[in-house]
Every structure is written in structure tokens, then in C-alpha cells.
Structure 1
Amino acid sequence: MSNCLTAIAPEPVFQQPWHAQVFALTVSLNESGRFTWSDWVARFSAVLAQHGVDRGLDGDLDGGDDYFHAWLETLELILAEDGAAPAAEVDHLRDDWERAYLETPHGAVVHLDGA
């Protein structure tokens, strides 16, 4: 009998890289004093309720894209309200990235004009 241990890769904590990125950005902004965690929880709960989920993870969200879209929406709302990322600027930048993505050949690096 072999004494070899088979390494089992752990399940990823986040389903997509952007999930981890928006989570890390939120934690960093909290730690830098941009908002309190209790404020975050209240705001995130309100966004979840707007999407018909009033019990957090016990509701319809599965911790995937739907959950992190709500997470991102909450972060955007907080940053828009304090003037760090006004909604109009975020919308404009999102539109620019989408246009650049759609106009970039498959496999090429996406660049914004003037960036």
C-alpha cells in the first residue's frame, strides 16, 4: 500500500475573479474608513430587498453572479453618494468599456481610447 497523499484542490471561494476583486475592494474601502461595516450591511440588505431577497443568503441568491451584482450595486451606490464615483461618470465609463470590448478583436487586449 502506498503512503502517498493525494492533494485535493480546494473549491474556489469565488466563482469568478471579479467576485473576489469587488469583495476585496469593498473590504479595503471599509478598512480605510470610507464606510463602516454596519453601514455596508444595512445598505447591502436594502439592495437585496430591492431585488426581492429579504433574508440574505437564505433567499434566492446563490453566491454567484446575482449575489455579486447586488454587492457591486451597493458599492456603486455608496461611492456615488459620497462623490467618489458619481453615477453618471460610472455609467459613462461602463459604456466606454463595453464599446471598447465589442470593438476589440477576439483575443486582443481591450484598451480605452485616451487611456
Structure 2
Amino acid sequence: MNLPANFDALPGLDLDDKGAPVFSEPWQARVFAMTLQAHQAGAFTWAEWTRALGAELAKPGTGTQDETGYYGHWLAAFEALLSDKGVAAKNVLQETQEAWDRAAKATPHGEPIELFGKTPGPKTTE
């Protein structure tokens, strides 16, 4: 995956000693990767992304240390930008989030989560 030249200038982005982003949960890495993929696919410019993330982080009561966390704000900015650009409707994003929540609560620990009757993610062959 190619990183934009100025990705490390994002506000609040935690980087390791090699300049790579640091994630504490797998979902954080996934939303980071989805953002980069959407940018590379032309869904939005990097300048649009940095403005969207900056606006989310600038909202009153938000910041990298609040209970939502940095990548919670990243996700909110990503969803808002996709909606604003007409890539995904807000109601579809909300319905998908609610479906994930229901599926996760109904799935026994250790089993794959099935969304809409299908296991999400890439198919694997054994």
C-alpha cells in the first residue's frame, strides 16, 4: 500500500521509530487501510482527508485522549467524508454499523461474525 507523501503530517497520528502508524486494535489498522484505499481509488484527495480529520478532531470535547480515541475520530471523519462525497449514504453506514453490532452480539466467542448471512472479509481456501 502506498502512503501519501505527507501522511505523517496528520494531526495526532502516532508513529513508531520507523515512521509507520501505530495501532492498538486491528480495526484501527483496517480503517486506516480503507482510508488509504479510498484515497488511492480517487474517492477524495489527501487535502480533503486532512481537512475532514482535522475538523473531526477540532469538535468541542474531542481529542486523542477522550473515550472515542484517535481512530474513533478517524472513523467518524472517514464516514462523514464518504457521505459528503456521495460514496456512501449516512443511513447505509448507520444501518451497516447496527447490523454489525447485532451480529457481533449474536455470535459466540471465537466464531466468525456473519453479516447479512455471510461471513465478512476475504474468502480463504484450505
TM-score range, shorter chain: 0.7 to 0.9
Task: Read off the aligned partner of 1:92 and give its amino acid letter.
Answer: E
List gaps (5 residues or longer) in structure 2.
1-17, 119-126
Task: Read off the aligned partner of 1:99 and give its amino acid letter.
Answer: R
How many residue pairs were aligned? 98
Which has the greater radius of gyration?
Answer: 1
Alignment partner, residue 68 of structure 1: 71
Check whether the contact 2:44–2:85 (CA below 8 A) recurs between aligned residues: no
SS of 1:94 mapped into structure 2: helix
**Does 2:51 match 1:48?**
no
Check whether the contact 2:43–2:87 (CA below 8 A) recurs between aligned residues: no
Q: TM-score, normalised by structure 2?
A: 0.67
SS of 1:46 mapped into structure 2: helix
Alignment partner, residue 23 of structure 1: 32
Task: Read off the aligned partner of 2:70 and give its amino acid letter.
Answer: Y
What is the percent sequence identity of the aligned residues?
36
> Which one has a larger percent helix, Structure 1 or Structure 2?
1
**Alignment partners' CA distance in 1, 2:43 and 2:70:** 22
Q: TM-score, normalised by structure 1?
A: 0.73
Q: State the Cα RMSD in Å.
A: 2.3
Alignment partner, residue 56 of structure 1: none
| Paired residues for 1:27-106 under 5 Å | 27-52=36-61, 60-61=63-64, 66-106=69-109
Deviations 1:17-59 (A, max 9, x none): 1111111111121122211111111111111011445xxxxxx
List gaps (5 residues or longer) in structure 1.
1-9, 54-59
**Alignment partners' CA distance in 1, 2:95 and 2:57:** 25
